[in-house]
Amino acid sequence: MVLNQLSYRIKTPIALVLVILIATASVTVLLVWRGYEDTRQGFVAQVSSLGRVLSRTLRPALLHDDIWQAYETLKSPLESGETPGRDFVLLDRYGLVFAASNPRTFPVQSRLAMTPPGAPPTRSGGHQAVYTDEHFIYVHTPVLAEDDAVLGSLVQRYDASLLKPRLAEIAQGILLASLPVLLLLLPLGWLAGKRLTEPLSHLAECLGRVGREAPETIRCDFPAGKDEVSQLAHRFHEMLAELRSKQALEKHLAQSDRLAALGRLSAGIAHEVNNPLGGMLNTISNRRRAGELDLRTEKTLSLIERGLTQIRATVSALLVEARLESHALAPADIEDVRTLVATDARTKHLKVEWTNGLAESLPLPSAQVRQILLNLLLNAVHASPKGGQVSVVVRPDANRVVLTVDNAGPAIPARRREHLFEPYFGEGEGHGLGLWVTYQLVQQMNGSIDVESVPEHTRFSVSLPLSDETHAS
């Protein structure tokens, strides 16, 4: 059916409009019928009163057998001549026509044949009676003597069509009165129907978005209440919350699986890189044992040794089961990172705001912390526009150390942010290993890393707990 294909936004207003039309039509018909009945009862009361007056007036004519007087009396209520639709007939005690307002139709001494079915015999009864059929209204009034003896009866017959003008007048008045009300109720009913179905239509629209859009992007507000639509809306929000939770869990599991697989793959590579690193560190050690070194050479060898040690620690981070073996984190380790990135910052004319809040050594593996800070700082330098600013803050906070790196580069796209800590997902901006290694190091130290990125401001925050379990003593 066509109605089944229409939205409730259309069907409900149409239904309300139809109800208003049906109700208005029913009330109009009822009022017209009631008006007709009142008019008919008033008409019957009027002609009944006329019948009683005529019956008393016709008494002398029957007593003196004066047909002419009876005829004049019957004609007197009529306007003039023959009046269509109205007939007065006077019957004697035997039920024969004594006189009539229309003698041609009702001849004298003829038997009256116009009594409706169910009416009593014209000679019986001493009380006035009213009867109707499909076309006429009959009023039977007895003509009584002074001792209440029945002398005859007066029959008044009226055509029912005489009431039609009054019926038309009543109907016209009621229709004219109901038309403004109808014109007011129809638009109100349509608006009320649309307003009633708005929450349901909104719910249907929101349900249609499920599956086509991500659950976290679907935002649907519904008016508070306890009706059926409000209950459906409550269940809908519960469903969205479950979908969001399920999607977040799936993403977390998928990311964990990908990172675990990459960790196992990189473990083999890490073993191969460690061999030449060990050779270079042995060479530095042999050079120191060969003889005394001047201060500049010793400083250079120390910087190279710390860099090679950091490389070995970074490679070790590729091993999921690697132990974090390094000396405690000292303020000088943080300053080394500043030295390593100074050249890149000068190349882009960047202003580096540096805040090193460490005043003493802390129980954290220095090589891993240096690598985390170096990776984040290099990414910040790379993302910053020329002449921009990079901010670095390292501060102890109760039982943890917080590293914060800010830059004024463009915002990280949402799609890339979902895979930010996965390798080889740089989308042409690098291989992505730096952040992946950073993530691995932070996880091994039971820390956390957060990213906030909006246009012209991106912040990486790393929180590392101070615990003996985070480094080898």
CATH 1.10.10 matches 213-322: no
Contacts of 96 (CB under 8 A, 6+ apart): 109, 110, 111, 112
Q: Is the pLDDT of residue 465 over 90?
A: yes
Contacts of 287 (CB under 8 A, 6+ apart): 293, 301
**In the chain, pLDDT over 90 holds for what percent of residues?**
15
Record the pTM: 0.45
Residue spans of the domains in the chain: they are 3-167, 213-322, 324-473
Q: Using one digit for the tens of pLDDT, what is the confidence trace for 187-226?
A: 888 887 777 777 777 777 777 777 777 777 777 777 777 7
- By C-alpha distance, which of 453, 442, 350, 370 is closest to 400? 442
- By C-alpha distance, which of 59, 444, 401, 420 is closest to 251? 420
CATH code of 3-167, in short, is 3.30.450.20
Angle at 368 between CA 398 and CA 279, to 5 degrees: 155
Q: List own/partner pairs for 42-51 with CB under 8 A and 24 or more apart.
A: 43/137, 43/158, 43/162, 43/163, 44/130, 44/137, 44/139, 47/137, 47/139, 47/156, 47/158, 48/128, 48/130, 48/139, 48/141, 50/77, 50/156, 51/128, 51/139, 51/141, 51/154, 51/156
| Residue whose token pair is 């009706």 | 227
Q: Confidence band (pLDDT; 50, 70, 90) for 122?
A: very low
Q: Using one digit for the tens of pLDDT, what is the confidence trace for 286-326?
A: 877 777 778 888 888 788 888 888 777 667 655 544 445 56
CA distances from 376 to 10, 109, 348, 373 (A): 58, 130, 17, 5
CATH code of 324-473, in short, is 3.30.565.10
**Integer Cα distance of 289 and 229 in angstroms:** 84
